[in-house]
Amino acid sequence: PWAAWGGWGLAFALSTGIAAGFLARPETPVERPVPPSPASEEDPSVDLSSQIRYVPGAVEDPVGEGARPFEIPPGTETPLPPPEFPVVERPAVPPTEPAAPPGNTPAPLVDTPPLPFEPGAPAYAVTQAPADAVSWLLARQRRDGSWGEGTAPSTIRTTAWALWAIEEAAAKRLPSATSEAAVLARRAAQAYLADRQRPDGAWEDPAQDAFTTHAVALIAFVGTEGPPQGGSPAAARAVRFASERRTRTGGGGWGFTRDDPLPNSWTTSWMLLALSRARESRLPVDAAVMRDAALCLQRATDERSGWVGLRHRQEAPPPSRCVAAAALAAQIKAGAPAQATRLRPVWRALTEETARWRESPSTVTIDLEYWLLLSIASGCQNAPVEGASLRAASERAASILDALQVRASPDAGSLPALPSPWRPGAGAVESTALGVLIRAFSR
């Protein structure tokens, strides 16, 4: 009997185990919500300059190395207006393209709703943003009337850019640029430039391009709003230096530096712009010098493509949009009709270049010199049909600068330091000054 009972027990145990094996199911894991980490939350007060990403090779520089324009990081294109202005809440736009892999290829940016300059936007970005930028510049003027980048010594170039920006803002009647303090600041800056002028009339900084610095200094020195300096001896010496045959090259233009024997289209454009400003201020300017400079730029222009070569030689870097915009603006300011046949290829090339940017708003690049020169050219009288498209693009670029401008103290009103191949060593002062100029000429 004990054997029988043992057999029955063994059979019962085996059957129970087999049934349990068939009926058992793996346990389904329960997903539990993970609280968000504070470190992963986006900080709205993060410094924009730390988020700027650079794209090599986008624009050619004077020595043939690619410039590196910046891209506005996602989520920073729409600015945060001050509390006293109404804030229009807009829904976020979901991404439509995947992020680019690591490397030199920039990740696409999501196009945002209308930027501040467009109809219905708060008034801050259109009027207060450039006014704050002027206030920031005025607060950083040094006791001798100059400007410098950070703790670096003052330079003629940085002082000239800041002075020019304040003058153009005064022409737009921005309160911060028309105040008594701003008038005194302009006088001090003009006195600084007059004191730093060389005996031969040149303005140049050590180890920098002499002629572009001289051109910007001349534009700023003669001014657009009082106090007038057009009739001063320093202005006359500056014009005489630019017009002398020993200063110019055999091709009718100017080299990149004093020792450069070949004409440089970038430098020639800026010197022609400076002489045009001097002529507007009723300074005596040799018309033959301006005519030769314009012919020099025409010879550098490809009639089929519309691009303007930096040099008149094959081993030169390929042409860039900055040089084309400079040549166009300079010739128009010198008196060439905006609809002249010889300028139509340049208008067309710049329009096609800018259209590619407008059709791909997810990738936004800014080159400060390009947009400044484009705003000057497109704002001329009797511009061809392409001028309206370029004008709209300049306004869009101006609104992007509004969005990029720092709002938090102590640097409220400034733009991040945006490097430029045309201005080695440039920092926040020059970037902010060019930002003021772009918005003054494009609006």
Burial of 9: CB neighbours in 10 Å, binned 0-12, 13-18, 19+: exposed
The confidence score (pLDDT) of residue 385 equals: 85
With cut-offs at 50, 70 and 90, classify the pLDDT of residue 231. low
pLDDT at 102 over 80: no
- Of the listed ranges 13-17, 61-65, 213-217, 386-390, the least confidently predicted one is 61-65
Q: Is residue 419 part of a domain?
A: yes
pLDDT of residue 69: 38
Please give the structure tokens belonging to residue 274: 């400076």
Angle at CA of residue 295, ends 289 and 297, nearest 5°: 105
This prediction has a pTM of 0.72
Q: Higher confidence at residue 385 or residue 34?
A: 385
- Residue with the larger pLDDT of the pair 409 and 397: 397
Q: Report which of residues 89 and 255 the model is more confident about.
A: 255
- Model confidence at 403, pLDDT cuts 50, 70, 90, reads confident
Q: What is the pLDDT of residue 194?
A: 95
244 falls within a domain: yes
Nearest to 406 by CA among 41, 45, 161, 43: 45
Task: State the total domains in the chain.
Answer: 1
Mean pLDDT of 401-411: 84
Per the CB < 8 A criterion, the answer to whether 333 and 373 are in contact is: no
Domain CATH for 169? 1.50.10.20
pLDDT digits (tens, 9 = 90+) for 56-83: 333 333 433 333 333 334 444 334 333 3
pLDDT at 66: 38
The per-residue pLDDT for 65 is 35
Considering the domain boundaries, does residue 188 fall inside one? yes
Domain assignment present for residue 399? The answer is yes
The span from the CA of 344 to the CA of 306, in Å, is 8
Closest CA to 303 of 353, 344, 251: 344
Q: 172, 204 in Cβ contact below 8 A? A: no
Is the residue at 110 inside a domain?
Answer: no
Give percent of the chain above pLDDT 70: 65
40 falls within a domain: no
Residue in this structure with the two tokens 């670096």, named with its chain if needed: 152
Is residue 374 predicted with pLDDT exceeding 80?
A: yes
The mean pLDDT value for 23-32 works out to 47
Query: Average pLDDT for residues 233-247, to the nearest whole number?
Result: 92
> What's at 292, amino acid-wise?
D
Q: Which residue has the higher pLDDT, 241 or 313?
A: 241
pLDDT-derived band at 216, boundaries 50, 70, 90: very high
DSSP 6-55: HHHHHHHHHHHHHHHHHH--PPPPPP-PPPPPGGGS--TT--GGGG-EE-
Q: What is the DSSP letter of 416?
A: P
108-155 tens-digit pLDDT: 333 333 344 444 444 445 668 899 999 999 999 999 999 999 999 999
pLDDT score of 407 more than 60: yes
- Give the residue with greater pLDDT, 190 vs 34: 190
Q: Taking residues 85-108, what's their average pLDDT?
A: 35
Query: Of 333, 388, 385, nearest to 358 (Cα)?
Result: 388
Please tell me the predicted confidence (pLDDT) of residue 365: 60
Arithmetic mean of pLDDT, 12-29: 47
Q: Which domain holds residue 142?
A: 116-442
Residue 166 lies in a domain: yes
pLDDT reported for residue 58: 37
CB 115 within 8 A of CB 399: yes
Coil, strand, or helix at residue 441? Answer: helix
pLDDT-derived band at 246, boundaries 50, 70, 90: confident
Please report the pLDDT score of residue 323 as a whole number: 93
pLDDT at position 410: 82
**Average pLDDT of the segment spanning 44-62:** 36
Higher pLDDT, 249 or 376: 376
Question: Between vectors from CA 56 to CA 55 and to CA 62, what angle results, nearest 5°?
Answer: 130
Q: Which of 196-200, 283-287, 410-414 has the lowest mean pLDDT?
A: 410-414
Give the pLDDT band of residue 414 (cuts 50, 70, 90): very high
Residue 386: what pLDDT? 87
- Local structure of 274: helix, strand or coil: helix
Tell whether 48 is covered by a domain: no
